[in-house]
Amino acid sequence: MFRTLLCRCALLLALGAGTAQAALAPELVEGLAASDFSARMAAIEALATAGPSAVEVVDALEEGRFGTVEGRAVIVRGGQVIDLATGEALEVEAAAVGIVRLNNRLRRAASTARAGLTLETGSEGERLAAARTLAENPSEALLPLFRRVLAGDPGEAVRDLVTQAMARVQLASADPAERRAAAEALGTSSSRVVLAMLEPLVERDAAGNWREPDESVRAAAADSIQSIERRVAFAQGVGMVFSGLSLGSILLLAALGLAITFGVMGVINMAHGELLMVGAYATYVVQNLFRQHLPEYFDYYVLAAVPVAFFVAAAVGIVMERTVLRFLYGRPLESLLATWGISLVLIQAARVTFGPQNLELANPSWMAGSVELFAGLSLPWNRIWILGFSVFVLVLLWAMMQKTRLGMFVRAVTQNRAMAGCVGVPTGRVDMLAFAIGAGVAGLGGLALSQIANVGPAMGQGYIVDSFMVVVLGGVGQLAGAVSAAFGLGIFSKVLEGWTGAVIAKILVLVFIIMFIQKRPQGIFALKGRFVDQ
Partner 1 sequence: MQNRRTFIKSLVLSASIAAIGMPMAASAADTIKVGILHSLSGTMAISETALKNVALMTIEEINAAGGVMGKKLEPVVVDPASNWPLFAERARQLISQDKVAVVFGCWTSVSRKSVLPVFKELNSLLFYPVQYEGEELEKNVFYTGAAPNQQAIPAVEYLMSEEGGGARRFVLLGTDYVYPRTTNKILRAFLNSKGIPDSDIMEEYTPFGHSDYQTIIANIKKFAAGGKTAVVSTINGDSNVPFYRELGNAGLKATDVPVVAFSVGEEELRGVDTKPLLGHLAAWNYFMSVDNPENKAFIAKYRAWAKANNVPNADTVVTNDPMEATYVGIHMWKQAVEKAGTTDTDKVIEAMGGQTFKAPSGFTLTMDKTNHHLHKPVLIGEVREDGQFDVVWQTKEPIRAQPWSPFIQGNESKQGL
Partner 2 sequence: MRTPFSLRLFSAMPAPARIALALFALAAFVWVPVAHLMLPADHALHLSAYWVSLLGKILCYMVVAVAMDLIWGYAGILSLGHGMFFALGGYAFGMYLMRQIGRDGSYGADLPDFMVFLAWKELPWYWTGSDSFLWAAFLAMALPGVVAFVFGWFAFRSRIKGVYFSIITQALTYAAMLLFFRNETGFGGNNGFTDFKRIFGYSITAPETRVALFALSALLLILCLLLGRYLVTSRFGRVLAAIRDAESRVMFIGYNPLHYKLFIWTLSAVLCGIAGALYVPQVGIINPSEMSPANSIEIAVWVAVGGRGTLVGAVVGAGVVNLAKTWFTVSFPEYWPFVLGFLFIAVTLFMPQGIVGLARRLFARRAASGAAPATRVGHAPEPESEPVGGPAAVKGAGA
Going by their DSSP bridges, the two strands 66-69 and 378-380 should be labelled as unpaired
Query: 306: Cβ–Cβ under 8 A, 6 or more apart, which residues?
Result: 444, 447
Question: Applying CB under 8 A, does 238 fall inside the site for partner 1?
Answer: no
Q: How many CB atoms lie under 10 A from the CB of residue 226?
A: 11
Question: Applying CB under 8 A, does 319 fall inside the site for partner 2?
Answer: no
Query: Among 170, 190, 191, 335, which residue sits at the site for partner 1 (rule: CB under 8 A)?
Result: 191
Going by their DSSP bridges, the two strands 370-372 and 378-380 should be labelled as antiparallel
C-alpha span between 145 and 135 (Å, rounded): 13
Question: Applying CB under 8 A, does 285 fall inside the site for partner 2?
Answer: no
Which helix (DSSP H) or strand (DSSP E) does residue 380 occupy? strand 378-380
Stretch that binds partner 2, among 109-117, 126-134, 151-159, 259-267 (CB under 8 A): 259-267
Is residue 267 within 8 A of residue 233, CB to CB? The reply is no
Instruction: Give me the 467-486 binding string for partner 2, x by CB under 8 A, dash otherwise.
Output: -xx--x--------------
Question: Applying CB under 8 A, does 340 fall inside the site for partner 2?
Answer: yes
C-alpha span between 5 and 24 (Å, rounded): 13
Is residue 452 within 8 A of residue 383, CB to CB? The reply is yes
Segment 483 to 512, residues that bind partner 2, using CB under 8 A: 503, 506-507, 510-511
Question: Applying CB under 8 A, does 270 fall inside the site for partner 2?
Answer: yes
Q: Minimum CB separation from partner 1 for residue 412, in Å?
A: 38
Question: Applying CB under 8 A, does 467 fall inside the site for partner 1?
Answer: no
Question: Applying CB under 8 A, does 195 fall inside the site for partner 1?
Answer: yes
Looking at the Cβ atoms of 293 and 530, the one nearer to partner 2 is 530
Q: Minimum CB separation from partner 1 for residue 137, in Å?
A: 9
Q: Minimum CB separation from partner 2 for residue 470, in Å?
A: 11
Question: Applying CB under 8 A, does 37 fall inside the site for partner 1?
Answer: yes
Segment 374 to 393, residues that bind partner 1, using CB under 8 A: 376, 378, 380-383
Long-range CB contacts for residues 259-263, cutoff 8 Å, separation at least 24 = 259/438, 259/470, 259/471, 259/474, 259/476, 259/479, 259/481, 259/482, 260/397, 260/410, 260/434, 260/437, 260/438, 260/441, 261/434, 261/435, 261/438, 261/439, 262/471, 262/476, 263/414, 263/476, 263/477
Q: How many residues bind partner 2 (CB under 8 A)?
A: 67
Query: Among 465, 480, 498, 500, which residue sits at the site for partner 2 (rule: CB under 8 A)?
Result: 465
Residue 8: name its binding partner from partner 1, partner 2, none (Cβ under 5 to 8 Å by kind). none
Query: Among 69, 109, 253, 268, which residue sits at the site for partner 2 (rule: CB under 8 A)?
Result: 268
Question: Applying CB under 8 A, does 458 fall inside the site for partner 1?
Answer: yes
Q: Minimum CB separation from partner 2 for residue 522, in Å?
A: 9
Is residue 281 within 8 A of residue 357, CB to CB? The reply is no
Question: Applying CB under 8 A, does 343 fall inside the site for partner 1?
Answer: no
Q: How many CB atoms lie under 10 A from the CB of residue 517?
A: 14
- Where does residue 158 rank: exposed (0-12), middle (13-18), buried (19+ CB within 10 A)? buried
Is residue 469 within 8 A of residue 285, CB to CB? The reply is no
Query: Among 452, 513, 517, 526, which residue sits at the site for partner 1 (rule: CB under 8 A)?
Result: 452
Q: Is the alpha carbon torsion for 476, 479, 483, 484 positive or negative?
A: negative
C-alpha span between 365 and 198 (Å, rounded): 37
Question: Applying CB under 8 A, does 345 fall inside the site for partner 2?
Answer: yes
Stretch that binds partner 1, among 118-126, 303-311, 313-321, 494-502 (CB under 8 A): 494-502
Stretch that binds partner 2, among 12-20, 115-123, 226-234, 460-468 (CB under 8 A): 460-468
C-alpha span between 356 and 354 (Å, rounded): 7
Segment 56 to 115, residues that bind partner 1, using CB under 8 A: 101, 103-105, 107-108, 111
Segment 377 to 416, residues that bind partner 2, using CB under 8 A: 414-416
Stretch that binds partner 1, among 69-77, 157-165, 319-327, 455-463 (CB under 8 A): 455-463
Question: Applying CB under 8 A, does 146 fall inside the site for partner 1?
Answer: no
C-alpha span between 510 and 269 (Å, rounded): 20
Is residue 486 within 8 A of residue 528, CB to CB? The reply is no
- Where does residue 236 rank: exposed (0-12), middle (13-18), buried (19+ CB within 10 A)? middle
C-alpha span between 14 and 12 (Å, rounded): 5
Is residue 352 within 8 A of residue 333, CB to CB? The reply is no
Question: Applying CB under 8 A, does 355 fall inside the site for partner 2?
Answer: no
Question: Applying CB under 8 A, does 363 fall inside the site for partner 1?
Answer: yes
Looking at the Cβ atoms of 385 and 435, the one nearer to partner 1 is 385
Stretch that binds partner 1, among 149-157, 363-371, 413-421, 478-486 (CB under 8 A): 363-371
Segment 299 to 338, residues that bind partner 1, using CB under 8 A: none
The letter for the amino acid at 171 is: L
C-alpha span between 142 and 68 (Å, rounded): 27
Looking at the Cβ atoms of 273 and 477, the one nearer to partner 1 is 273
Contact positions vs partner 1 (CB under 8 A): 37-38, 41, 101, 103-105, 107-108, 111, 136, 191-193, 195-196, 236, 239-240, 243, 246-247, 348, 351, 353-363, 368-370, 372, 376, 378, 380-383, 452-456, 458, 462, 494, 497-498, 501-503
